Structure 1
Amino acid sequence: MSRTSPPAPSDRFDGSDSVGSAGSAGKAVGEPAALEPTSGAVVHRRQTAPFWSAPFARRTWQEFGYLWVALLLSPVGFTYAVFTVSFTAGIAVTVVGLFLGGWLVLGARGWGAAFRGLGRGLLAVDVPAPAPHVARRGFWRRLGGLLGDAPGWRALAFVTAAFPLAIVAFTVSVTFLAVALGGMTHWYWSRWLPAQQAPDGSWHRGTQLGTGWFVDTTPRQVALAALGVLFALLWAQVTLAMGHLFRLLTLALLGPTQTSARVQHLERSRGQAVAEGDARLRQIERDLHDGTQARLVAVAMQLGEAREQLASGGDAAEALALLDTAHASTKDAMVELREIARSIHPPALDNGLAVALDSLAARSAVPVTVDVDMSAVPGPEVETIVYFCAAELLANVARHARASGAYVRLDEVDGALRLRVRDDGVGGAAPRAPRPQGGSGLAGLRDRVATVDGTLEVDSPPGGPTVVTVNLPLTVAG
């Protein structure tokens, strides 16, 4: 099912357009550039080092430094973990003493923070901190909250696993590096080695490899130096591999779990939705009080004056003028009430989402093509969100994008609703905070979409085109 308002844009959207991921820095249709707010997601900043230049790459030496620091810290962290478990088990009979064990578990968060900081500085991976501990009320609930602190236990698991891994990783990395440096410089320092007698009675100064085989000739020195170069290249790869093991361990144990991150996201979305709803109610109250109510008060006064004119036998023409003014004010008040009602629930949605999108396209300042291809009927909450998202994005196109047209497509993909709005404007747009003069901007749209577990994805390279994709469930559980 396809609907089209005035001339379609020359640069239509097709399925080949790329769209940025939900977690990446996005851009709103036609909005001026701004910084993307922190998403709280895991961020990798490491760069790929070519095989031949890896021994000289900064990343390699940073991860080698991480292995040194991990070797120094992990024994202390392992001791802390063993003490925490043994002390808590030993003091469990006192019950009250379990608070000490709980505080030790909670203190393990410090180890997690320390290794997250190391990972951020030396492994180039930013892992968000878990949610802060919230003390519960009541003796048993408080005790259970301390002893059951999941981030604390995960940090204890990390330092426990990091101890043997640090020993193995450091030993293997340093061994490869020592062999590499020794092989490449053997030609120089081998002259100071003590002389050794071979089985045939000859004397040699050089490293002995096997029975009676010494590295003390030029061809053998060159071969050993070449072997050292090979081990240097392998050392870099081994070091990066060991660093990556720590990176995986950090990601697995020191960040928030999927469940806790999900809870945080839902709590944040709920708070934003409540704040947005409260702000909207206050705006409606101001509109009614300062606009419609004041206009109706004026109508009542004008009608009262007209009645007094007619009752006292006054000038009928003046009374008629007052009635005309009251009639015009009444029509203006009705228009204002319709606008307020439309901002709460657009009447066009009563005839379906496709018709509502058509009405938006018809009122747009730029030509808009609307294409709807779906068989399922979304829930009313989802329809409202789609409508307001499309209205805000098309308004941004008209205000900022300097576009000749826009294309709106609504379809169903894998049991979910997808709205795409594209313009052929200048691009280079980015999200920003809600605007005081009206409109919520991309930040507000993203918050609105998140309240029903949806996502908003944006692609807006400099020069355009700009494509915004909104993914929503068809219905909201309630």
Structure 2
Amino acid sequence: MTVDRPGAGPTTRPARRDPGFLTAPFASRTWREQAYLALVLLLAPFAFTYAVLTVSLAAGIAVTVVGLVVAGALVLGGRGWGAVHRGLARELLDVDVDAPAPYTRPRGFWRTVGSLIGDPAGWRALLFMIVTFPLTVLSFVVSITFLATGLGLITYGIWFRFLPEQTGADGELHRGAQLGSSYFLDTPPRILLGMLAGVVLLYCWPWITRTFTLLYRVLTAALLGPTQAGLRVAELERSRTGAVDDADARLRSIERDLHDGTQARLVAVAMQLGEAREHLAEGGDVAQAAELLETAHTSTKDALTELRELARGIHPPALDSGLAVALETLAARSALPVTVDVDPAVEAGGRLAPAQESIAYFTVAELVTNAAKHARATAAYVLVEALGETVRIRVRDDGRGGAHVVPPDGSGLRSGLAGLVERVRSVDGTFDLSSPVGGPTVVTVTLPTTLPGTGTGAADPA
């Protein structure tokens, strides 16, 4: 299972197996592609008219406020035409092209008008309708000519007898198709030759049709899908939203732990100290006061321990000495044996920013904890190595496997592997999980480096 950023561009996928050469004229895919060419031919005049009208109005009446609004609305309407063509391509050409990022209306009238007129997805859809208009006519005429001519020649021996008689150049009457001034298909050898030519044309028809539909596939993916910039913006917005929600949820969790745990313990300490002071002021039992002080002392140490754990959850102090030291410390405190192998090139020159080091540390900590708590592992191996302009972190355990990413439950706190995925994505990293039932579980995290360079990776004995 790979958990990563969305694809970097529009994608196409074959949904059905390609037919062989001998079965191509009879395959459902071929007839669906021919149906696609027929349907886009019906839509092409209306789509082309809409595109030309939009461009003309945008150039002619955009000098007025009303014209700007109308032109912007027409540009935005191009998205609807794009959705129609994507649907046809998905159903008939087995092309799955993602829709571009939805239109978001900005605040302010003039910003809204500007965003309407300058909507990239709308203009790209209009360009698609203009470019495909001549292609639509050409593709349908050529493909249907091959199909009709091929079928006509194959069945020629049946219907040629119903053709009217014609006088040839030799002065004799002929009944059949005429090629040139005196060549008629009216003898058995010539009829057989025509039928063979029909078979050739019929078997050429699927590949001619497929060539044209391939052009439609390319144009649909290039002009009606999301752009690289659009995908990048959408991913950044999603990562930012996830990071903000995760940070807010974690702050609430820390506040709850402080309020329900440490604060309550310190309140109890204050009450115990107050009670001991009253005992001593009133000349009461010294032994009972000493017992209260001892309880308060123990509670104070427990509170300090809780505060250290909370602080370690925010930023481990061991990270101040480097990622290698922090991971070694983590391994020493782990409930199962952990071998840590950190490439010296990772920390040489400050490859990872402090935020990335924190993500790397908490990722390893979460995975090691999962291996000990859920996977019933007996050992784990952690490898951190520099690979070009990235740092790869691999955590492998010998547990029972079967791990998978559980989507967030809507509470805002992305815990477990889902939380790790969000953290890694927030810095443009990738997260790959391989956990077959029975094990082993291998998680590979790739983080971009802050400084370019080439590191020498350590060997992974696992």
TM-score (norm 1): 0.84
Given the superposition, is the C-alpha separation of residues 271 and 225 from structure 1 closer, same or farther in structure 2, using an over 3 Å criterion? Answer: same
> Could you list the per-position Cα deviations for residues 394-427 of structure 1 after superposition, in whole angstroms to 9, with x for gaps in the alignment?
3333344455543322111121111122344455
Quick one: distance in 2 between partners of 1:443 and 1:164? Answer: 49
1:408 aligns with 2:409: no
SS at match of 1:44: coil
1:12 alignment partner in structure 2: none
Find 2:442's aligned residue among 467, 472, 478.
467
Quick one: distance in 1 between partners of 2:376 and 2:321? Answer: 32
1:50 aligns with 2:19: yes
What are the ranges of 5 or more consecutive residues in structure 1 without an aligned counterpart? Answer: 1-18, 25-37
2:122 alignment partner in structure 1: 152
Shift of 1:138: 3.9
Quick one: distance in 1 between partners of 2:210 and 2:374? Answer: 46
SS at match of 1:190: helix
Find 1:116's aligned residue among 86, 90, 103.
86
Native 8 Å contact 1:41 1:127 kept in 2 = yes
Given the superposition, is the C-alpha separation of residues 57 and 358 from structure 1 closer, same or farther in structure 2, using an over 3 Å criterion? Answer: farther
SS at match of 1:98: helix
Moved over 6 A (4+): 38-41, 435-439
Find 1:445's aligned residue among 408, 411, 420.
420
Given the superposition, is the C-alpha separation of residues 368 and 244 from structure 1 closer, same or farther in structure 2, using an over 3 Å criterion? Answer: farther
1:266 alignment partner in structure 2: 236
2:454 alignment partner in structure 1: none
Native 8 Å contact 2:401 2:436 kept in 1 = yes
Native 8 Å contact 2:375 2:401 kept in 1 = yes
1:22 alignment partner in structure 2: 4
TM-score (norm 2): 0.87
Given the superposition, is the C-alpha separation of residues 154 and 386 from structure 1 closer, same or farther in structure 2, using an over 3 Å criterion? Answer: same
1:417 alignment partner in structure 2: 391
Quick one: distance in 1 between partners of 2:54 and 2:275? Answer: 85
Shift of 1:297: 0.8
Q: Which amino acid aligns with 1:473?
A: P
2:457 alignment partner in structure 1: none
Q: Which amino acid aligns with 2:380?
A: A
Quick one: distance in 2 between partners of 1:233 and 1:373? Answer: 60
Alignment of 1:248-287 (within 5 A): 248-287=218-257
Given the superposition, is the C-alpha separation of residues 39 and 394 from structure 1 closer, same or farther in structure 2, using an over 3 Å criterion? Answer: farther
Native 8 Å contact 2:12 2:221 kept in 1 = no
Quick one: distance in 2 between partners of 1:403 and 1:209? Answer: 82
Given the superposition, is the C-alpha separation of residues 41 and 374 from structure 1 closer, same or farther in structure 2, using an over 3 Å criterion? Answer: farther
1:368 aligns with 2:338: yes
Given the superposition, is the C-alpha separation of residues 439 and 96 from structure 1 closer, same or farther in structure 2, using an over 3 Å criterion? Answer: closer
SS at match of 2:431: strand
Given the superposition, is the C-alpha separation of residues 224 and 51 from structure 1 closer, same or farther in structure 2, using an over 3 Å criterion? Answer: farther
Q: Which amino acid aligns with 1:454?
A: G
Shift of 1:95: 4.2
Quick one: distance in 2 between partners of 1:362 and 1:339? Answer: 16
Native 8 Å contact 1:434 1:441 kept in 2 = no
Shift of 1:78: 0.5
SS at match of 1:431: coil
Native 8 Å contact 1:184 1:224 kept in 2 = yes
Quick one: distance in 2 between partners of 1:126 and 1:183? Answer: 37
Q: Which amino acid aligns with 1:87?
A: L
Q: Which amino acid aligns with 1:50?
A: P
Quick one: distance in 1 between partners of 2:185 and 2:424? Answer: 71
2:276 alignment partner in structure 1: 306
Alignment of 1:203-214 (within 5 A): 204-209=174-179, 212-214=182-184
Given the superposition, is the C-alpha separation of residues 176 and 393 from structure 1 closer, same or farther in structure 2, using an over 3 Å criterion? Answer: farther
Given the superposition, is the C-alpha separation of residues 98 and 434 from structure 1 closer, same or farther in structure 2, using an over 3 Å criterion? Answer: closer
Q: CA RMSD in A?
A: 3.0
Find 2:214's aligned residue among 204, 219, 244.
244
2:432 alignment partner in structure 1: 457
> Could you list the per-position Cα deviations for residues 250-303 of structure 1 after superposition, in whole angstroms to 9, with x for gaps in the alignment?
111112221122112111111111111110000000000000010011111111
Q: Which amino acid aligns with 1:455?
A: T
SS at match of 2:383: strand
1:349 aligns with 2:319: yes
Native 8 Å contact 1:51 1:233 kept in 2 = no
Tell me whether 461-470 or 346-355 shows the greater mean CA deviation: 461-470
> Could you list the per-position Cα deviations for residues 154-176 of structure 1 after superposition, in whole angstroms to 9, with x for gaps in the alignment?
11111111211111111122122
1:325 alignment partner in structure 2: 295
Quick one: distance in 1 between partners of 2:141 and 2:311? Answer: 71
Quick one: distance in 1 between partners of 2:186 and 2:372? Answer: 80
Q: Which amino acid aligns with 2:386?
A: E
Which structure carries more relative contact order (alpha carbon 8 Å, separation 6+)? 1
Tell me whether 160-169 or 199-208 shows the greater mean CA deviation: 199-208
1:171 alignment partner in structure 2: 141
Shift of 1:196: 4.6
Quick one: distance in 1 between partners of 2:378 and 2:191? Answer: 72
Given the superposition, is the C-alpha separation of residues 266 and 355 from structure 1 closer, same or farther in structure 2, using an over 3 Å criterion? Answer: same
Shift of 1:383: 0.3
2:360 alignment partner in structure 1: 386
Quick one: distance in 2 between partners of 1:383 and 1:124? Answer: 43
Shift of 1:184: 2.7
Given the superposition, is the C-alpha separation of residues 85 and 301 from structure 1 closer, same or farther in structure 2, using an over 3 Å criterion? Answer: same
Native 8 Å contact 1:392 1:440 kept in 2 = no
Shift of 1:99: 1.8
Quick one: distance in 1 between partners of 2:372 and 2:166? Answer: 87
Shift of 1:244: 1.9
Shift of 1:334: 1.2
Quick one: distance in 2 between partners of 1:428 and 1:220? Answer: 69
Shift of 1:428: 4.9
Shift of 1:240: 2.0
Given the superposition, is the C-alpha separation of residues 180 and 80 from structure 1 closer, same or farther in structure 2, using an over 3 Å criterion? Answer: same
Equivalenced residues, count: 446
